[in-house]
Structure 1
Amino acid sequence: MYLELHARSAFSFLEGASLPEELAALCAELNMPAMALLDRDGVYGAPRFHMAARKAGIRAHIGAEVTSTEGFRYPLLVETRAGYQNLCRLITRMKLRARKGQGAVTEEELAEHASGWIGLTGGDEGPLGAGIRGSGLGVRDCRFSIDDCRLKKVQSSVFNRQSAISDRQSESRAPNPGPRRRLERLCEIFGRGNVYVELQRHFDRKEEARNQAAVGMARSLGLPLVATNGVCYAAGQRREILDVFTSIRNHRRLDTAGRLLARNSERYLKSPEEMTRLFADLPEAIGGTQELSSRLAFTLNDLGYEFPRYPTPPGVTQMQFLRKLTEEGARGRYGPDDERARRQIERELALIEKLDLAGYFLIVWDIVRYCREQTILVQGRGSAANSAVCYSLGITAVDPVGMELLFERFLSEERGEWPDIDLDLPSGDQRERVIQHVYERYGKLGAAMTANVITYRGRSAAREVGKVLGFEAETLDRLAGLVSAWEYQDEKDTLERHFRDAGCDLKHPRIRKFFELCLAIQDLPRHLGQHSGGMVVCQGQLDSVVPLEPATMPGRVVVQWDKEDCADMGIIKVDLLGLGMMAALEESIELIRGHYDEEVDLGHLPQDDPAVYSALEKADTVGMFQVESRAQMSCLPRLRPQRFYDLVVEVAIIRPGPIVGKMVHPYLKRRQGREPVTYPHPSLEPVLKRTLGVPLFQEQLLRMAMIAAGFTGGEAEELRRAMGFKRSEARMKEIEKKLRAGMERNGITGA
């Protein structure tokens, strides 16, 4: 049975037109038990491909197309974990010495890292194809016709005799020794048993001539054949997207791109039956795919990532050291007699020990300690504020016990994900000092920033498509404005409706094509950016886990995966976020110390100061972080905060989710007694009681899904991701279907 072992995804950046998830899903539909993803110069899409393949029940083989200094690409398949580590190190070496987005490897570097790989010879862009093409091989001995998608070759006697004549006779009919020597060199680099001669058929006369030459050389050298389709997109109709990307990459309009564009639409993921018919004359090339797949033992389940072990005193474990620090801090934060706090801390420490996360907390504590020693103001934010351990360690300044915050929002065994501690730092030089401290402590190859995958969305998608289609600037500005104003909210809110409401004639061919292409490239990767503050560290060298690249900012490196990819692969990150208000607070604390000789402890600020709430009720909040916007100043006199939890609600309510979901006015009316408090379903009262029956917080939505639809912690996390900033219509519809089905099973209908 045929298996596809050479596919690119959109993470080849402008050289592939389908997401890894699409390829994995279609592979399963075609009943192929395995597939290999080989993106250009990286493993950018590997985590998504791995997760999608696991969900679809297929095996995900990992590899890459690595650019050579000679201009072609080496298609490399990972066989073992050592091979994966070598691939990551080779790509890192290539990337870090070149300008961002560039790089190539020498043959010597390839040979140095070649252990644990299977080398394919590639298609036209591979080492053998490039050698044959450069040798001047013609097509005079190869003619073919196409009938019912079957390639019927009408060949001269040259091809049929090549496998039967002697090596010397074969060489006399083969192309010049250049390509043969290149093939022999691949055997020297990888080992003869680790080289497969790759054949692709896309109904191209010159390509078929090169195939004939490749088969002849493979047989004369005793090398196995393997068929691939050199996949660039899941379905044939997505060839249009690849043409758009080719035009963008070459700074051309579609109507002037000419031969830069693909000759046909054959590079889609074909079924085993199609490929078997296509290679009916070479059944060993089809059988070779299964044999090769069986050798590829490595998966990302065997990544081998380890969080750094924090250095502790002799004879003291990380957990013992964390417990000691926590108990010392708790005495200062809570005093010696707070039994409720002690029980909560013990509960948290027990889970931290069970999940083997002591090292993570110690490393974050160490960063905070460095900041304090360097008089850099630092403050934990986000869900870490729900942890009494973080509060005791001085990472956060909010008492989660007194505030009755939910620890499971931060860390839960059921959710099966790592904790996420965000540290706010003064923006600018102070933050950069902390980032460089982390690099120095763990080494340039032991720490890196997480990536941010910049995708085609809204205005960026519209502008690129419009340029490729040759729209005038004025027309493009108008159309881009329409697209940028749209984001999927429900099944009635479509981009097509926005176009029609704006008076666009979707029957006009160019407008219709613009509309279709804008939709088609939504969410496809555009390029790799740098996360605002996420850092990952590793025991040993991080480049044995994921390739590293230079960031735009000097002195920084970035991994090829974003924060969600890192989370999926079990790589823990720490966010070091720059905040202008932290610089203002830092200066204010210094002024108070200098003028009043008082020390300000953010962890012990009073939460019931009447003067503070009086200023808030009057919306006297100019320059006050989180509540200084016009919307916040408009809401404050109506909400009239009286206690700290009211401030939590105030900050949360003026956010896109509650505003778009029309939660603001119902909450304010209920708070003012102008509307009765009701609940969507009696089972949801415990979740919504504190917010008067109106869901305002993300954690409420997750708990509602778990109660109403029977979602597991993992499914609730998928819901959270689907509702994230880069909202996908397809992803939202998929999770909505699952949510409604779960609610119906629990007898909740009409929602």
Structure 2
Amino acid sequence: MFLNCHSYYSLRYGTLKISDLLRLGQENGVTSMALTDVNSTSACLEFVRIASQYNVKPILGVDFRKGAQQQFVMLAENNDGFQNINEYLSEFLHQREGAKNAEIPTKAKQLPHTFIIYPFASFEGETLLENEFLGVKIDDINRLKFSPWKNKQHKLVVLQTVTFKNKKGFNTHRLLRAIDNNMLLSKLPTSEQGSENDVFISEEKLKKCFEEFPQLIKNTETLLNRCHISFDFSKETTCNQKSYTANEDLDFRLLKKLAYAGIHYRYKRPGERVMVRIEKELGIIKEKGFVSYFLINWKILKYARSKGYFYVGRGSGANSIIAYLLRITDVDPVELDLYFERFINLYRKNPPDFDIDFSWQDRDDITDFIFKTFKNTTLIAVYNTFKFKASVRELGKVFGLPKEEIDKLSTQDCNFKTLDKLSQLVIMYSQYIQGFPNYLGIHAGGILISEKPIYYYTATFMPPKGYATAQFDMVIAEDIGLYKFDILSQRGLGKIKDAVAIVKHNHPEIPDLDIHDIKRFKKDEKIKTLLRNAQAIGCFYVESPAMRMLLRKLQVDDYLGLVAASSVIRPGVAKSGMMREYILRYRFPEKRKEAHPVLLNIMPETYGVMVYQEDVIKVAHHFGGLDLGEADMLRRGMSGKFRSREEFQKVKDQFFNNCKNSGKNETFTADVWRQIESFAGYAFAKGHSASYAVESYQSLFLKAYFPLEYMVATLNNGGGFYSVELYVHEARMHGGNILQPCINRSYGETIIDGKDIYIGFGFLQSLESKCIEKTIVERDKNGAFESLDDFLERVSIGMEQVTILIKINAFRFTGRNKRELLWEAYMKINKVSFEENVYTLFKQKKVNYKTPSLPHTALEDAFDELELLGFSLCSPFELLMNPSENKLRATQLSQFIGKIVTIEGYLITTKRTRTSRGDYMYFGNFIDRDGEFVDTVHFPPVANKYRFRGKGVYSITGKVTEVFDCINIEVIKMERLAIIQDPRYAAEKGRMTAAL
């Protein structure tokens, strides 16, 4: 009887979770139900997957609406009908306006295997086609009695819309509608919201309402009986493109040929171990039906190499020797003894993960190639949900609260009981809608390549990126057997690629760099020194304060140590307490004897400590007695992308039962389980970590031998963990001469000439890109600018833009004071034509104005730089109001272990975390006057009393501590030191006073 039900995937309209909707049906004895979300099929597959758990027959369709106005409901008679509906809906969702403002007509297109239901109250026609009906609501019954349609009851069905459960649900719906329309709740028109009667009522009550029209009830039941939908969620076979060559036997022959062709490139003379592993992998890949998955990845990366694109292949697929031979990855699984069963085993139903990283500059072209090369291709969506703080802000606006009050409520720094009624409602409903889908976004890099048309599973929408995107996320895709190809972008590869090009330009005498000679890099003493001393600012994955401290603690200087560190740093290992244990056993061999002999035997390389993702499988299999399928389910169940399900609980119970039956100590078993549970979802596969380590070595090589060029590349690729300012500082620490942009030397990006580094025009805040482009084009075409006059004649530019260039000292080549240049520009700028320059036969005579003497100081330059770059090129310590006499430096802290000291540091970054009791504490990262790092710990009492106050120099008092050669200051007091008054305004004030 329910042909028009909404879940909360009717974005900013519906209020019911899928499970709640089905539970309502079950509680009311409903045996059939149609999910018809508004302009969406996001929830359809999940609805079908779990409907049987509630003894409900699922029916799928779409409620086509123009804004909030229902145009018609379309139901799928079968899977073909569902595909047709998805394709039809996608036509509207691909319009520029998108789902919210889609121009959906009042009359539906005729599609095979579909039924169309028009709302009785607004239908204006007199006839209906065979598959068309009018939907009559309870509110329409009286009108029906006097309508001509009373005599055509065979075309009428009951249309009870279900959008919410109760009064609170209706209130929530209205709030969502107000948010969607960006208006006060009091201004929300009824045309933009559903009826208060759009609730679930029992079939008995519904039939009673229509007892005068029994044929409508019969028509509705007949329609429900005619609809059948089914999908296979067993995942016994994948739904990805089945064949690369259109012939599966030919696919396998090609894969084998490519694998054997890659042996010479990778191994020269392979041993028996390599050949055995190749044959074993080929056999299982064929048996599991993953051949085309490997070949499609190979094709993508073959194209990337043809274009000269840098890439890194990682994920569990990095454990595969076939992937290594096909150059999908650069990690040798034989050398690293990578766990074969983590990559693939006979129990595994999904193909291995290949996460392919490209430079952010190249990824779009790769995506375009995939869409042009393979049929049935789409991006994957992510569900961006309402977060509490964002919800408070949205609802605060809906209720009309002032900004100050909204800011206070969003910080949760308030007592709920003392709030007024409106503020309480904001908090209450913000908590209620937390987790509701808000809008569809795009997955960071997931692409589906399906055997069947993607519309067989879902509708697609068209985001600004310009590629069709599925309306469901990767979890739903995996449920149905669609496994994504991960085409990701990262700036680390862009840094490496650009650094190689910059080295070639700045050092033409140096032969071409082989950035892929990883074997040589692993033995390089300079790189070992950088690793041991954690001098890796700018280097991929090893530059963060946490990683820097871990490298110091471990004293890592080899590849395997770095591979382990890449996974040890992940949150779960630290949370389980095993990071400290790993460091102890790594640093002090005698500590390895304390490992449990069973775990040490399973994981000898990591001294009995679970470090890698496959360690979970090993321990579950060898220690917990689970088969490999159960062990992999355990790993996936904790990964975050695999929801907690009944099967997972069974595996957990089986783990404990097996341990008990094999006589293992219950307390120890519980401790092992705690370790698994705490980090399994966060740890990397060893092959994944090894792939990261390869990229780290490439960046470490460049940092070791070409630090200035590498820092320039880092700046031009958006930096990394830190702000631009720190990378400028790092270049200076390596002997670079940092210069402001220059009209005659600079480009949009930062450039280097010898040791001179010119900051790029693109780093100037508020300088327009068209101004940069015009300046560079004119300079390249007609030569360097001779003066400000020459520049103003040749480049059409407004006063605001030329002011930026003068204030940053870009005209310093003229030798003139920039304040005089500003005065001159102001006098002349209005005399310059803002049309594109037209060169004439005779040059016009220049008008020269006598400018007054307007001196300026280096401190004024510093404040101009602060305004335009976000940081000054002088030391921030030079801007202190009261120059300090504190002589303590970071390099001296080791002499004061256990003592209270005071040191000054310029704040670089902070990290907030929670203690086991839920209190906030902080880690701080500063540089001293010599540019060396000072690391601080701020426990909750101190963090609450002495808060960070933004960028600046701080006086830090605390106790010096040392853990595994890593020095920190446990802060007991901290204050930000005052800086001088901005001399630009002080000077201006003085000039005005003198004039008066």
> How does the TM-score come out when normalised to structure 1?
0.77
Residue range with higher mean Cα deviation, 629-638 or 264-273: 264-273
CA apart distance, 1:396: 0.3
Q: Distance in 1 between matches of 2:307 and 2:399?
A: 55
Which of residues 303, 307, 326 is equivalent to 1:374? 307
CA offsets 1:527-566 (integer angstroms, 9 cap, x no match) = 111122222224575445432221213x433222222222
Which of residues 515, 519, 524 is equivalent to 2:427? 515
Asked if 1:433 is matched to 2:349, the reply is no
CA apart distance, 1:633: 0.7
Cα separation, partners in 2 of 1:712 and 1:469, compared to 1, 3 Å: farther
Residue range with higher mean Cα deviation, 276-285 or 526-535: 276-285
Q: Distance in 1 between matches of 2:478 and 2:350?
A: 7
Q: Pairwise mapping of residues 111-122 of structure 1 onto structure 2 (< 5 A)?
A: 111=110, 114-121=111-118
CA apart distance, 1:339: 1.7
Q: Distance in 2 between matches of 1:108 and 1:669?
A: 72
CA apart distance, 1:42: 2.5
SS where residue 161 of structure 2 aligns? coil
Cα separation, partners in 2 of 1:665 and 1:478, compared to 1, 3 Å: farther
Q: Would you say the 8 A contact 2:409–2:427 is kept in 1?
A: no
CA apart distance, 1:109: 6.6
Q: Would you say the 8 A contact 1:683–1:708 is kept in 2?
A: no
Alignment-derived partner of residue 640 in structure 2: 724
Q: Would you say the 8 A contact 2:210–2:216 is kept in 1?
A: yes
CA apart distance, 1:581: 1.2
Matched residue type, 1:621: A
CA offsets 1:325-371 (integer angstroms, 9 cap, x no match) = 11111332133432212222222222221222212211111110111
Alignment-derived partner of residue 479 in structure 2: 568
Runs of 5+ unmatched residues, structure 2: 661-665, 675-996
Asked if 1:129 is matched to 2:63, the reply is no
Q: Would you say the 8 A contact 2:381–2:442 is kept in 1?
A: yes
CA apart distance, 1:89: 1.8
SS where residue 76 of structure 1 aligns? strand
CA apart distance, 1:59: 3.1
Which of residues 401, 408, 411 is equivalent to 1:478? 408
Count of aligned positions: 653
Q: Would you say the 8 A contact 1:702–1:720 is kept in 2?
A: no
Q: Would you say the 8 A contact 1:685–1:693 is kept in 2?
A: yes
CA apart distance, 1:78: 0.7
Matched residue type, 1:423: I
Asked if 1:104 is matched to 2:19, the reply is no
Cα separation, partners in 2 of 1:605 and 1:427, compared to 1, 3 Å: farther
Runs of 5+ unmatched residues, structure 1: 132-177, 483-498
Q: Pairwise mapping of residues 414-493 of structure 1 onto structure 2 (< 5 A)?
A: 414-428=347-361, 430-442=362-374, 446-482=376-412
CA apart distance, 1:470: 3.3
Asked if 1:292 is matched to 2:223, the reply is yes
Alignment-derived partner of residue 978 in structure 2: none
Q: Would you say the 8 A contact 2:342–2:617 is kept in 1?
A: no
Q: Distance in 2 between matches of 1:307 and 1:540?
A: 8
Alignment-derived partner of residue 635 in structure 1: 550
Alignment-derived partner of residue 760 in structure 2: none
Asked if 1:582 is matched to 2:498, the reply is no
CA apart distance, 1:627: 0.7
CA offsets 1:142-194 (integer angstroms, 9 cap, x no match) = xxxxxxxxxxxxxxxxxxxxxxxxxxxxxxxxxxxx34x1xx2xx32xx2xx3
CA offsets 1:289-345 (integer angstroms, 9 cap, x no match) = 443232212223399955163237x99611111111111113321334322122222
Q: Would you say the 8 A contact 2:153–2:215 is kept in 1?
A: no
Q: Distance in 1 between matches of 2:192 and 2:68?
A: 23
Q: Distance in 1 between matches of 2:214 and 2:619?
A: 55
Q: Distance in 2 between matches of 1:67 and 1:249?
A: 15
Asked if 1:220 is matched to 2:151, the reply is yes
Alignment-derived partner of residue 199 in structure 1: 136
Matched residue type, 1:370: Y
SS where residue 577 of structure 1 aligns? strand
CA apart distance, 1:732: 6.4
Matched residue type, 1:84: F
Cα separation, partners in 2 of 1:264 and 1:588, compared to 1, 3 Å: closer
CA offsets 1:80-111 (integer angstroms, 9 cap, x no match) = 23212211221222222332333234477712
Matched residue type, 2:328: I
Cα separation, partners in 2 of 1:641 and 1:256, compared to 1, 3 Å: same
Q: Would you say the 8 A contact 1:385–1:400 is kept in 2?
A: yes
Alignment-derived partner of residue 32 in structure 1: 30
Alignment-derived partner of residue 613 in structure 1: 528
Cα separation, partners in 2 of 1:210 and 1:723, compared to 1, 3 Å: farther
CA apart distance, 1:687: 5.8
Alignment-derived partner of residue 249 in structure 1: 180
Alignment-derived partner of residue 148 in structure 1: none
Residue range with higher mean Cα deviation, 16-25 or 505-514: 505-514
Q: Distance in 2 between matches of 1:256 and 1:105?
A: 25
CA apart distance, 1:636: 0.9
Q: Pairwise mapping of residues 503-542 of structure 1 onto structure 2 (< 5 A)?
A: 503-505=415-417, 509-539=421-451, 541-542=453-454
Q: Distance in 2 between matches of 1:704 and 1:275?
A: 56
SS where residue 528 of structure 2 aligns? helix
Cα separation, partners in 2 of 1:28 and 1:439, compared to 1, 3 Å: same
Q: Distance in 2 between matches of 1:711 and 1:481?
A: 48
Alignment-derived partner of residue 548 in structure 1: 460
Alignment-derived partner of residue 229 in structure 1: 160
Residue range with higher mean Cα deviation, 603-612 or 3-12: 603-612
CA apart distance, 1:407: 3.3
CA apart distance, 1:231: 1.1
Q: Would you say the 8 A contact 1:416–1:714 is kept in 2?
A: no
Cα separation, partners in 2 of 1:315 and 1:343, compared to 1, 3 Å: closer
Alignment-derived partner of residue 294 in structure 2: 361
Cα separation, partners in 2 of 1:356 and 1:477, compared to 1, 3 Å: same
SS where residue 649 of structure 1 aligns? helix
Q: Distance in 2 between matches of 1:438 and 1:376?
A: 15
SS where residue 35 of structure 1 aligns? strand
Q: Would you say the 8 A contact 1:236–1:268 is kept in 2?
A: no
Alignment-derived partner of residue 309 in structure 1: 243
CA apart distance, 1:677: 7.0
Which structure ranks higher in relative contact order (CA pairs < 8 Å, sequence separation ≥ 6)?
1
Q: Looking at CA atoms only, which structure, 1 or 2, has the larger radius of gyration? A: 2
SS where residue 527 of structure 2 aligns? helix
Q: Would you say the 8 A contact 1:385–1:398 is kept in 2?
A: yes
CA offsets 1:546-590 (integer angstroms, 9 cap, x no match) = 32221213x433222222222222223212111111122223455
Q: Distance in 1 between matches of 2:171 and 2:617?
A: 39
Cα separation, partners in 2 of 1:743 and 1:227, compared to 1, 3 Å: farther
Q: Would you say the 8 A contact 2:77–2:113 is kept in 1?
A: yes
Which of residues 76, 79, 84 is equivalent to 1:78? 76
CA apart distance, 1:711: 9.2
CA apart distance, 1:277: 4.5
CA offsets 1:688-744 (integer angstroms, 9 cap, x no match) = 66544544444444666676596984796587466538x9xxx76989976765556
Matched residue type, 2:547: Q
Q: Pairwise mapping of residues 151-190 of structure 1 onto structure 2 (< 5 A)?
A: 178-179=124-125, 181=126, 184=127, 187-188=128-129
Residue range with higher mean Cα deviation, 591-600 or 85-94: 591-600
Q: Would you say the 8 A contact 2:573–2:611 is kept in 1?
A: yes
